[in-house]
Homo-oligomer: A and B are copies of this chain.
Amino acid sequence: VGSTSIRDRYARVRSHSEALAAPLSAEDQTVQSMPDVSPTKWHRAHVTWFFETFVLAGRPWYQVFDPAFGYLFNSYYEAVGPRHPRPARGLVTRPGVAEVAAYRSHVDDAMSRLLEDELEETMRCLVELGMHHEQQHQELLLMDIKHVFSCNSLLPMYAPAAPHPRPGAAGSSTGWSGSEGGVMEIGHEGDGFCFDNESPRHSVLLAPFEIARGVVTNGDWLAFVADGGYRRAELWLSDGWYAVNGEGWEAPLYWRGDDSGRWSEFTLSGLQPLDPDRPVSHVSYYEADAFARWAGTRLPTEAEWETAAADGDLNQAFGEVWQWTASAYLPYPGFRAAPGAVGEYNGKFMVNQHVLRGSSCLTPEGHERVTYRNFFPPSARWACSGVRLARDPA
């Protein structure tokens, strides 16, 4: 990345979003299938609004594209003002995709002009944040459209060769890596970009542990299902058992069984036969935790994951499936949110969620870090979330 100018990187991030939206019709880009999901065109507009609001607004030469967009495309920044209710994002038919494209061009032109000159540090950081923010929404865009399509009985295809978790190298998913534990460091350090929730770097005390080299596969999960995993209360957290029964869970979110007991998996390339060698994905924390208990193991803490990953002990750490950890999403000791509206980016979500580590096949290239802390509520299944096991040494 080093030698690439921020202007080039900006252009690259922005055009990647457009490439991701390209296979989607105007209709596809408009719909919201549940409150957690946002329409594609909302994602495209919201990440643009981020640059307009935090970087461009207030510059004398910048003309706001449409003042009404501030209300429509603010996600959750209370400090910026009121906003369109989240569950109603799918009701906004206008602006349409063409106008959203015009909005993007308008902001891109202004950003391009801005980035011709050296920026002062604060501004440069906000542009950097905006690019990483857009990358997060690139993953959300794919997660969300997958969910939208899954609600359509025709099970449409996003693209014939869309991203999907790949099998590990032979044997990669077996075996354990051991650690002696002790006082170790986690959290981000150095000059590179990180989100505020990755800092400050700090010491933690770990007991000896073992962590699986690979992630849990569909084949492993089939054994769990066959063994009554979704019908045995003793394997589940109480809230998880409530979800199993209330939601009727019998398998990961996108598995579909046929009458003869064969499983398929709905993917961005449509319905596919379930491949037992691929990582299991789209499971909740509750399911990950129950699976680990069934297997006589447990989930790793985020500190265990990070120290093992930093040591290079993990296969499939990145680019396949996010890996649930046993750690609740809480501030690191000494954490301090940034002042102002961007301080709402991460800190205010630090309750009722669990941390996931690594990255997934939907994560854009260059967006992964060993210190990265992703987070979702324990019931969430629409992220590309899987499982890596850990255990205490015998």
Please report A residues at the B interface, Cβ cutoff 8 Å.
Answer: 25-31, 33, 41, 68, 71-72, 76, 78-79, 84, 88, 90-97, 148-149, 151-154, 156, 183, 202-205, 207, 233-234, 236-241, 285-286, 289, 326-328, 330-331, 333-334, 344, 348-352, 354, 378, 392
19 contacts between A and B (CB under 8 A): A25-B93, A26-B30, A27-B29, A27-B41, A27-B96, A30-B31, A68-B153, A71-B153, A76-B238, A78-B241, A79-B234, A90-B90, A92-B151, A203-B205, A205-B205, A239-B351, A239-B352, A285-B351, A352-B378
A234 contacts which of B78, B328, B350 (Cβ < 8 Å)? B78
The chain B residue sitting closest to A348, CB to CB, is B238
Measured CA separation A91–B392 after assembly (Å): 46
Measured CA separation A131–B128 after assembly (Å): 59
Q: Which residues of B contact A239 (CB under 8 A)?
A: 349, 351-352
The chain B residue sitting closest to A84, CB to CB, is B153
Q: Which residues of B contact A28 (CB under 8 A)?
A: 93-94, 96
Q: Which residues of B contact A149 (CB under 8 A)?
A: 93
Q: Which residues of B contact A154 (CB under 8 A)?
A: 68, 72, 92, 94-95
Q: Are B349 and A78 in contact (CB under 8 A)?
A: no
Q: Are A237 and B92 in contact (CB under 8 A)?
A: no
Given A30-B31, A328-B328, A352-B378, output 9 extra A-B contacts at Cβ < 8 Å.
A25-B96, A31-B90, A72-B153, A76-B238, A78-B241, A90-B90, A238-B348, A351-B354, A352-B352
Measured CA separation A364–B71 after assembly (Å): 37
A27 contacts which of B71, B76, B97, B148 (Cβ < 8 Å)? B97
A237 contacts which of B94, B156, B349 (Cβ < 8 Å)? B349
Q: Are B33 and A91 in contact (CB under 8 A)?
A: yes
Q: Which residues of B contact A334 (CB under 8 A)?
A: 207, 392
The chain B residue sitting closest to A71, CB to CB, is B153
Given contacts A205-B205, A392-B334, contact A27 B79 (CB under 8 A): no
Given contacts A28-B93, A334-B392, contact A88 B238 (CB under 8 A): no
Q: With both chains docked as a complex, state the minimum distance between the C-beta of A72 and any C-beta of chain B, in angstroms.
A: 7
Q: Are B205 and A183 in contact (CB under 8 A)?
A: yes
Measured CA separation A62–B31 after assembly (Å): 34
Given contacts A152-B92, A154-B94, contact A30 B30 (CB under 8 A): yes
Q: Which residues of B contact A348 (CB under 8 A)?
A: 236-238, 241
Q: With both chains docked as a complex, state the minimum distance between the C-beta of A326 and any C-beta of chain B, in angstroms.
A: 7
The chain B residue sitting closest to A233, CB to CB, is B78
Given contacts A203-B205, A207-B334, A334-B392, contact A351 B90 (CB under 8 A): no
Q: Are A31 and B93 in contact (CB under 8 A)?
A: yes
Measured CA separation A241–B351 after assembly (Å): 12
Measured CA separation A97–B169 after assembly (Å): 44
Measured CA separation A236–B93 after assembly (Å): 32
Q: Are A351 and B240 in contact (CB under 8 A)?
A: yes
Given contacts A205-B205, A328-B328, A378-B352, contact A94 B25 (CB under 8 A): yes
Q: Are B27 and A93 in contact (CB under 8 A)?
A: yes
A326 contacts which of B26, B95, B204, B330 (Cβ < 8 Å)? B330
Q: Are B350 and A237 in contact (CB under 8 A)?
A: yes
